[in-house]
Structure 1
């Protein structure tokens, strides 16, 4: 049975879980200049949002440590910060891809296959993590900690993987950026 809080947010979880991936996918076919908007490229954003991904990973690990050590308020603050970092990342990622042409990976051989495997798993899990993070957070808000803990055991490693591979993808493609 869902609590009033869970019912209140369930529609938002569905909408955001669909809207965000669709909006991001559209970035690769629609640029601001295609809409008649003159926007300068933002080449400084990738290292910034890669750093934010790294910070998100650190926050997640410390948040798990905090809850395992009974530091509930610290855990809550760290998780809110991790969500905030993910939102900040998303805004910067969208701004970058709306203004800047995509960069092609230039590596060859095994490194190319490794890059595309990491990139593909990163993309797929970044889509899956949206509803997982939102449901996990709402269950905490609703104080349904048994269900929160159950889904958090799935959400944490996937979110951590997405955050870490975001940094790895950036490091692997950064030599090929044209500024």
Structure 2
């Protein structure tokens, strides 16, 4: 496969995924009137997948620094697969769940009253300071992951290393901050 084809493929996948997530978050794709009973468990599954990916990325870094390419490669294939499963679960949750979840929304009505806003205070600001780069970097890391993964599988080591210098810290931040975001927003789930 030519580089041109790979870049186009990665661009199409990235655009489709980002568009789908935006449409779901804006509730522009109609979901079911009533969410299935397993829906409330999806955010926890997503946090578990993100946490597992965080650990796997760190272990993978350890093994490549030890020169163990085989273990590094297998760990990255597993991490990539779990991240793909995360993405499917994330999209499914946002398709099924139609309620807006807002940090500090004690009543679960989707609107922050002055009392709720005051109660959340600095923690809401901290939450938003973690969430905002998480969202931006999650969208931006997808093409980097796909290209890094491709270069690694093709054993294009120099190109892989060049990409991974950016991909690794961003992917690590996204997976770790995903767990933190979940733990912070969990008290405000009203399922």
Structure 1 CA distance for aligned equivalents of residues 127 and 3 of structure 2: 38
Structure 1 CA distance for aligned equivalents of residues 69 and 149 of structure 2: 14
Go from structure 1 to structure 2 and tell me whether the alpha carbon gap of 1:5 and 1:82 turns closer, same or farther (over 3 Å shift).
farther
Given candidates 129, 135, 154, the residue that maps to 1:142 is: 154
Deviations 1:62-104 (A, max 9, x none): 1111111111111111101111111111111111111112311
Q: Residue 79 of structure 1 aligns with which residue?
A: 76
Q: Residue 134 of structure 2 aligns with which residue?
A: 122
Q: Residue 109 of structure 1 aligns with which residue?
A: 121
TM-score by length of 1: 0.91
Q: Residue 11 of structure 2 aligns with which residue?
A: 14
Task: Could you tell me which runs of 5 or more consecutive residues in structure 1 were left unpaired when the two chains were aligned.
Answer: none
Q: Residue 153 of structure 1 aligns with which residue?
A: 165
Structure 1 CA distance for aligned equivalents of residues 126 and 136 of structure 2: 15
Deviations 1:139-159 (A, max 9, x none): 123322111111101110100
Q: 1:103·1:177 contact (CA, 8 Å) conserved in 2?
A: yes
- Is 1:91–2:88 an aligned residue pair? yes
Q: Residue 132 of structure 1 aligns with which residue?
A: 144
Calculate the aligned-residue CA RMSD, in Å.
1.6
Go from structure 1 to structure 2 and tell me whether the alpha carbon gap of 1:142 and 1:8 turns closer, same or farther (over 3 Å shift).
farther
Q: 1:122·1:165 contact (CA, 8 Å) conserved in 2?
A: yes
Go from structure 1 to structure 2 and tell me whether the alpha carbon gap of 1:31 and 1:97 turns closer, same or farther (over 3 Å shift).
farther
TM-score by length of 2: 0.85
Go from structure 1 to structure 2 and tell me whether the alpha carbon gap of 1:166 and 1:118 turns closer, same or farther (over 3 Å shift).
same
Task: Could you tell me which runs of 5 or more consecutive residues in structure 2 were left unpaired when the two chains were aligned.
Answer: 105-118
SS where residue 72 of structure 2 aligns? Answer: helix
Structure 2 CA distance for aligned equivalents of residues 31 and 58 of structure 1: 35
SS where residue 100 of structure 2 aligns? Answer: coil
Structure 2 CA distance for aligned equivalents of residues 19 and 163 of structure 1: 21
SS where residue 40 of structure 2 aligns? Answer: coil
